[in-house]
Amino acid sequence: MSVCMTLQNVCKKYGIPTAAYETFTDPSAAKEYICSHGAPIVVKTSGLAAGKGVTVAMSVDEALQAVDAMMVEKVYGEAGSKIVIEDFLRGEEASFFALCDGQRGVKFMSAQDHKAAFDGDKGPNTGGMGAYSPAPVVTPEVEQKVMDRIVTPLVTGMAKDGHPYRGVLFVGLMIEDGEPNLIEFNVRFGDPECQVMMSRLESDLTQVLKLACESRLDEIQVKVKPDTSLTVVMAAKGYPGNYQKGTVIKGLEQIPRGAKVFHAGTTTNEKGEIVAAGGRVLNVTGTGKDAREAQKNAYAAVDAIQWDDGFCRRDIGYRAVQRL
């Protein structure tokens, strides 16, 4: 049984709010289901696909094409041998993170990422073109609902069933009118969400994770800066499709104050120059008292970097800025 299916069954068992779904191993059956249910509808690989195996289809034709890409053309390899088709949940997407020690879940932080490749949430889905933390849509009231309805039922249920979970719990959410529904679980900090959360964390991460391993999270309160952190992903032109490696990146020594750069896909050439070695290459991260200042600091750093073969979105954080 796949990880995705196990989590869906757990949601049913513990009453965790999520989208209705069906799984398929036969493309014809999947297409018949799509035609009978209509669009919008979500098609995703059951296996891991580097964060790209999800299509939010706004038309039946788009959904049918996604089935062919995943199951017939094998764009994502064996990850597409089994697919999940879910009802489309309306609202605003965000991520909530908790730490679990096998007995309890403790809230960590919220974040919001941007999956589409281009400004205005246009273009193909990617592994993430930017993120910020906290996510304003995850209000204290929403946080409490997520803890009460999703995190706590999962942690206590797994412990009761003899499978206590210790570690990071990534809760993907769709939020509408203050009501959260689960999209997915992951057992990692996420990329690029990790970069913005680590920029806000005041507690010693090693100590916190050690206490989680030892079922002692009740002994600590995780300390987080009130600032906003925002990261802009600089990717190689062509990503998430074909892109060139080995292109030279300059200006990294000129990053202004209020920002830092996390290297995601770089290496050095024979001249000792920093060069691109992947699709998503740099995570340029700014912090500030609010989303507007963090955005300003991040893009000031982006503009200091000289990389003609790279691109980025210029609107990361727009939802949070609009709320201001």
For 100, phi then psi, to 5°, come to -125, 140
- Same structural domain for residues 253 and 209? no
Average pLDDT over the chain reads 93
DSSP string, 113-173: E--EEEGGGEEEE-S-SEEEES-TTS-HHHHHHHIIIIIHHHHHHHHHTT---EEEEEEEE
Establish how many alpha carbons lie within 13 A of residue 250's alpha carbon, considering only the half-sphere containing its beta carbon.
4
48-52, 255-259, 318-322: lowest mean pLDDT where?
48-52
Boundary-marking domain end, from 168, 187, 219: 219
Residue given tokens 């609009």 in the structure block: 322
pLDDT of residue 5: 43
Q: How confident is the model at residue 3 (pLDDT cuts 50, 70, 90)?
A: very low
- Same structural domain for residues 317 and 236? yes
pLDDT tens profile 234-289: 999 999 999 999 999 999 999 999 999 999 999 999 999 999 999 999 999 999 99
Residue 48 clears pLDDT 70, i.e. is over it: no
Residue 4 clears pLDDT 80, i.e. is over it: no
pLDDT of residue 271: 96
Note down the domain range covering 165: 92-219
Share of the chain above pLDDT 90, in %: 84
- Same structural domain for residues 104 and 206? yes
Beta partners for 174?
A: 93, 181
- Same structural domain for residues 184 and 204? yes
Residue 6 clears pLDDT 50, i.e. is over it: yes
Boundary-marking domain end, from 154, 189, 219: 219
What CATH number does the domain containing 234 carry? Answer: 3.90.600.10
> Rounded to an integer, what distance in angstroms lies between the CA atom of residue 202 and that of residue 184?
27
Quick one: average pLDDT of 207-234? 96
85-94, 141-150, 255-264: lowest mean pLDDT where?
85-94
Q: How confident is the model at residue 2 (pLDDT cuts 50, 70, 90)?
A: very low
- Same structural domain for residues 199 and 232? no
Overall domain count for the chain: 3
Q: How confident is the model at residue 10 (pLDDT cuts 50, 70, 90)?
A: confident
Quick one: average pLDDT of 20-29? 91
Residue 108 clears pLDDT 80, i.e. is over it: yes
80-94, 130-144, 160-174, 253-267: lowest mean pLDDT where?
80-94
Greater model confidence, 184 or 189: 189
Q: How confident is the model at residue 9 (pLDDT cuts 50, 70, 90)?
A: confident
Residue 181 clears pLDDT 80, i.e. is over it: yes
Predicted TM-score (pTM) of the model is 0.83
